[in-house]
Amino acid sequence: MDRRVPTGISRHRSRSRLLLATGVTAFALVAGAATPLNPVPQQAHAAEAKAGSGSGGKKVLTVAVNQSVDSMSPFLATRLVSTTALRLMYDYLTNYDVKDGHTVPGLATAWKSSADKLTWTFTIRKNSTWSDGEQATADDAAWTFNKMMTDEAAATANGSFTSNFKKVTAPDPRTLVVQLKKPQATMTALDVPIVPKHVWEKVGDFSKFNNDKQFPVVGNGPFILTDYKVDQYLKFKPNKKFWRGAPKFDELDFKYYKDNDAAVAALQKGEVSFVSGLTPAQTAALKTEKNIKVNDAPGRRFYALATNPGAKAKDGKKIGDGNPALLDQRVRQALFAATDTRTIIDKVFQGHAVEGAGYIPPRFSDYFWKPAADQKIAYDPARAASLLDQAGYKKNGDGKRVGEDGKPLSFRLLCHATDPNDKAIGKYMQEWWGKLGIGLKVDCLDNVSDPWLAGEYDLAFDGYSVNPDPDYVLSIHTCAALPSTPKSTGATDNFICDKQFDALYAEQAAEYDPVKRADLVKQMESRLYDTGYMNVMAYPNAVEAYRTDQIKSIETMPSAAGNIWGQDGYWSWWSAVPTSSDGSSSSSSGSSTGLVIGIVAVVVVIGLGGFVALRRRSTAEDRE
């Protein structure tokens, strides 16, 4: 999902953190990989202005997008396009270094913990100003966290970060104090946008307020949102008062394209500056184009097949109509063994991906896990057949698998209509599983959100963007993330509730030793793999392209062989340098041309450096 998730899925996941608030508007982004919560918006009107230029010689950076915006509220948004926009609009207490993902100052310039790790004190910077002229203070941060702690709706997107908070206070404008119930390892990786209290305290129902009607939106990030049209565009202007320095382009636009081929054509014509989520064919074609640079680097997302584990709410009541056969671990593992991931990498992704294993992509080496030889469920149709036999699903005279009730074994697979990978892999699965006697209906829909949230699916293509700290993407698979009732929303990705996984999650969340914590995270990945609830089939590359006659230079994350779209931060769009008409770099903002993070501060790094989720979220969609 970036979903952050994240973000992926950011998602990311991003979920890639994930249930969406009811009645949220949609907008979509090319970079976000398809996930169950990635509905397809209506056709947008093409923008008239050409990218890279505007009236009076204005430098405009235009990013093609095709993923739906779930909300522009920091308290509700989980999709990668939404959380990417929020990272541009609001500062966080800390940020991730563009080079390797370690913790660097954000709104907070320094932080320290008490000896028992139960009290954290953050020093808030003096030079952060809200775009309406008000000073950003510790009181804004305290209000943001307290609202999440006391309002269930306000905790929709990022509640896992504050569920362990006991008390949050601001004794003075530059001091934020957070008291915990028990030690929490994510205190230097709180992926929570800090909002201006004087604006947000006027909001009534946080479950319905989407922060997308009054412009410009008040924030303190590098960009200010000035306009938004559903399924058409998001428009930003530089925040000239941003403490790190103003962006160099005069305007940043996220422009919607329902069809990625149309987005690529727009890039070739110079109508947009940047496109992500390229197919192998598009990549090959663009590599030969003049004034276009292709970036093909290891990504921060995973691509998976998610099963419906018997969706239910916290009150124990069933949600939806998932096939009860999937309650049997042997059936889920049989589907693993009947899926040829090597063919998916070679034939579908055509080498622009790495074969999947654990929940965390190999880019984040500290947390990356893969099964041992005796644990791995490799492509083995004979083993799959044996597991199905053991589960009581034997072939009848017509070669169909039937249960003890005589009903044939058949599943529904949610597929994103706009994602060619979903469609291609779905056809392969129909072939592979059909040989085993399993029926498979591939439902490629413009909007998969409704059946996903309603639990009306058996299987679904899933994806999430993973952040430097893994806590968020792990939290969306805990029992605590389930919706309270069948009619309410929660933060769950795909309704997983496993007590052993929960126990490991609680243990890693309180572990400050990076080596021990990494081991616990790997145990969680192992558990998720063994249960068969999710089959991570691939780690797709970030394959994207931009026009060099519009963008002179731009930062990837990590700096060496990293992605541009969907970063854990705002580095790409903040650092982008426009190309002038004579081919040289141009900077109308007067800020430095290089990405400088030379901040003098006391930095205590708790998380493991070099590991970059949704956060946020993105299944289903990149929740970042």
Question: What are the boundaries of each domain within the chain?
Answer: 1-624
Confidence of residue 586 (pLDDT cuts 50, 70, 90): low
Could you tell me which residues come within 8 angstroms of residue 538 by beta carbon, excluding any fewer than 6 positions away?
302, 303, 341, 344, 345, 349, 353, 354, 355, 356
Does residue 32 have a pLDDT over 70? no
Q: What 3-state DSSP class applies to 235?
A: strand
Confidence of residue 37 (pLDDT cuts 50, 70, 90): very low
Select from 515, 624, 464, 521 the least CA-distant residue to 96.
624
- Euclidean distance between CA atoms 201 and 197, whole angstroms: 6
Q: Look up residue 380 and give its amino acid.
A: D
Q: Which tokens in the block code for residue 604?
A: 């205590």
Pairing of strands 60-65, 103-105: unpaired
Could you tell me which residues come within 8 angstroms of residue 449 by beta carbon, excluding any fewer than 6 positions away?
20, 36, 37, 38, 39
Out of 302-316, 553-567, 600-614, least confident range: 600-614
Q: Which tokens in the block code for residue 351?
A: 């080498």
Q: Which tokens in the block code for residue 611?
A: 């590991």
Let me know: does 538 contact 461? Beta carbons within 8 Å.
no
- Euclidean distance between CA atoms 60 and 76, whole angstroms: 29
Does residue 47 have a pLDDT over 70? no
Strands of 446-588, DSSP E: 459-465, 534-540, 542-547, 551-553, 577-578
Q: Give residue 20's pLDDT.
A: 31
- Euclidean distance between CA atoms 441 and 429, whole angstroms: 10
Q: Give residue 580's pLDDT.
A: 85
The chain-wide mean pLDDT, for the chain, equals 87
**Residue with tokens 């929303």, as numbered in its chain:** 489
Does residue 594 have a pLDDT over 90? no
- Euclidean distance between CA atoms 216 and 514, whole angstroms: 42
Taking the CB of residue 81, how many other CB atoms lie within 10 A of it?
A: 34
Own/partner contacts of 200-203, CB < 8 Å, gap of 24 or more, are 200/143, 200/144, 200/147, 201/143
Q: Give residue 581's pLDDT.
A: 65
Out of 397-411, 484-498, 518-532, 537-551, least confident range: 484-498
Does residue 25 have a pLDDT over 50? no
Q: Give residue 600's pLDDT.
A: 33
- Euclidean distance between CA atoms 190 and 92, whole angstroms: 8
Angle at 565 between CA 560 and CA 571, to 5 degrees: 65
Q: Which tokens in the block code for residue 67?
A: 């993923």
Let me know: does 1 contact 462? Beta carbons within 8 Å.
yes
Q: Look up residue 231 and give its amino acid.
A: D
CATH of domain 1-624: 3.40.190.10
Q: Which tokens in the block code for residue 545?
A: 């392209």
Out of 51-55, 72-76, 152-156, least confident range: 51-55
Does residue 54 have a pLDDT over 70? no
